[in-house]
Amino acid sequence: MKTPDRRDSVAPTILEITPSGVSLGKTGLIRCETASVPTPSFEWYKGDKKLTNGQRGILIKNYNTRSILHVSNVTEEHFGNYTCVAINKLGTSNASLPLNQIIETSTSSPVTSSAPSTAQYGITGRAEILFSCWYLVLTLSSFTSIIYLKNIVIQ
């Protein structure tokens, strides 16, 4: 079996750090993917403080070239900037990004309006009935709203 020599070695380079948004009380994930030979060791920081497993809902899982930071039962104090540091004998690389809060909205029934009263204004044998259907979707994460209105007239 061939042993890699120094020419085959590469200092760590962070290829991708995947951001995460999370709601209060849920679990947030940040994934850090590297290119490195030999395999790097990883460190995680929140601001300038080094994180350790078991600290305030923190779980760090390291694999060959990636590390995943799990933040469980998220509270307000968990939101902020996180840094992944990859280290091997040839060097160090780091990348940072924030763990952001996602605000969940409660699901509610579509907004409906009742049909207006029917009146026959001197018309014998027929009436016009107007059915109105309103549907409102509000997406807070993208700050957009969609309103669907359909009026049907039955004669």
Question: b or e along 118-149 (b: 16 or more beta carbons within 10 Å of the residue's beta carbon)?
Answer: eeeeeeeeeeeeeeeeeeeeeeeeeeeeeeee
Task: Choose among 1, 7, 78: nearest CA to 44.
Answer: 78
- What are 54-79's pLDDT values in tens digits? 999 999 999 999 999 999 999 999 99
Task: Choose among 115, 105, 94, 93: nearest CA to 136.
Answer: 105
- What are 85-110's pLDDT values in tens digits? 999 999 999 999 999 999 877 655 44
Confidence of residue 27 (pLDDT cuts 50, 70, 90): very high
Task: Choose among 25, 58, 56: nearest CA to 44.
Answer: 58
Answer whether 0.85 is exceeded by the pTM.
no
Q: What is the pLDDT of residue 35?
A: 96
Instruction: Tell me if 85 sits within 8 A of 42, measured CB to CB.
Output: yes
